[in-house]
Amino acid sequence: MDHSRIVRIAVVGAGLMGHGIAQEFALAGYQVRLHDLGDDRLRTALTDIRANLLRLSSMGRLESAQIDPALAAITVSIDLGRTVAGAELVIEAIVEELGAKHALLRSLNGLCDGETIIASNTSSFMPSRLAEAISCPDRLLVAHYFNPPYQIPLVEIVPGPETSNETVMTVVGLLQKVGKKPVVLRKEATGFVGNRLQFALFREALAIVEQGIADPEAVDQVVRFGFGRRLAAAGPFEVFDLAGLDTILAVATQVFPELDAANPTAQPVPELLLRKVAEGDLGVKSGRGFHEWTAQKADELRNRLTQALVQSESNG
């Protein structure tokens, strides 16, 4: 299915993530049906969507004239069958419990037609686990949004072992059309990429506080006023390529063995980093590290970092 054939989108689950996902597609001009188990939840979702749109309008992110048409594009219902009937894409955004997701997927398996794509917004379950409940694993994938979904550009696309390339490309094309930044993982893994990184940082933050190295306020300030400002403009591989992987190796040799989550059976420094340095792939200084670098590309990165840091300073 080409993404241009998607005109009706159903979102199942009107909570924190679901109503935000519905809002974004409605704002982009799609007809959206939003489902939840109670009318009160749906009323709350519509109230929250209006508040979100008004807030964005007050900040100059959209025109006030866009608000009412976006709200009018959303149809709410407690009838699951009515919600998903004729939808080319169904997005599951219910509670993060595998049993509940399996029950819903079994229902969708009987209600959706033979071409409907089912995308789960799960934050942790691999698509192969979800596919146990359906007969069309080729049309199932994970589309993991980050909160708030209408402001964070990233959507992690996680195909399962049986997900078709056509399904992946259709969802990627649709998300790009509405302004998202979909990233397709090479294979499934619990927590995907974003949450593995976030929770690795959180695990170490907890250890720092437990060990009395710093209090939570200090940890938050170190991230906010330190490396966190760089991460708004460049990822860790870009940042460390710029610093020089030989320098990073020297630091890693001292720090990695001290990390609370260090695996005592593993070597202190990952083989990937050791191999890069041994082969002379030191980052920007050598023209290759984890990325390929030209002088122009390196200057573009420095300019991007400078712009982000200046903006962070102006925002306090």
Q: Using pLDDT thresholds of 50, 70 and 90, give the confidence band for residue 173.
A: very high
Residue-averaged pLDDT of the chain: 92
Q: Using pLDDT thresholds of 50, 70 and 90, give the confidence band for residue 257.
A: confident
Catalytic residue among 3, 19, 144, 238: 144
Catalytic residue among 3, 24, 123, 238: 123
Domains and CATH numbers, the chain: 3-184 (3.40.50.720), 226-314 (1.10.1040)
Q: Using pLDDT thresholds of 50, 70 and 90, give the confidence band for residue 308.
A: confident
CA–CA separation, 226 and 230 (whole Å): 8
Q: Is the pLDDT of residue 178 over 90?
A: yes
pLDDT of residue 307: 81
Q: Is the pLDDT of residue 262 over 80?
A: no
Catalytic residue among 57, 109, 195, 286: 195
Q: Is the pLDDT of residue 53 over 70?
A: yes
Q: Is 3 a catalytic residue?
A: no
Q: Is 144 a catalytic residue?
A: yes
- How do residues 100-110 score in pLDDT, each as one tens digit? 999 999 999 99
- How do residues 126-140 score in pLDDT, each as one tens digit? 999 999 999 999 999
Q: Is 123 a catalytic residue?
A: yes
- How do residues 265-278 score in pLDDT, each as one tens digit? 666 777 888 999 99
- How do residues 1-30 score in pLDDT, each as one tens digit? 788 899 999 999 999 899 999 999 999 999
- How do residues 199-229 score in pLDDT, each as one tens digit? 889 988 988 998 899 998 999 999 988 999 8
**Total-model pTM:** 0.87
Q: Is 115 a catalytic residue?
A: no
- How do residues 142-152 score in pLDDT, each as one tens digit? 999 998 899 88
pLDDT of residue 315: 66
> 3-state secondary structure string, the chain?
CCHHHCCEEEEECCCHHHHHHHHHHHHCCCEEEEECCCHHHHHHHHHHHHHHHHHHHHCCCCCHHHHHHHHHCEEEECCHHHHHCCCCEEEECCCCCHHHHHHHHHHHHHHCCCCCEEEECCCCCCHHHHHHHCCCHHHEEEEEECCCCCCCCEEEEEECCCCCHHHHHHHHHHHHHCCCEEEECCCCCCCCCHHHHHHHHHHHHHHHHHCCCCCHHHHHHHHHHCHHHHHCCCCHHHHHHHHCHHHHHHHHHHHHHHCCCCCCCCCCCCHHHHHHHHCCCCEHHHCECCCECCHHHHHHHHHHHHHHHHHHHHCC
**Residue that wins the pLDDT comparison between 268 and 173:** 173
Catalytic residue among 24, 92, 156, 238: 156
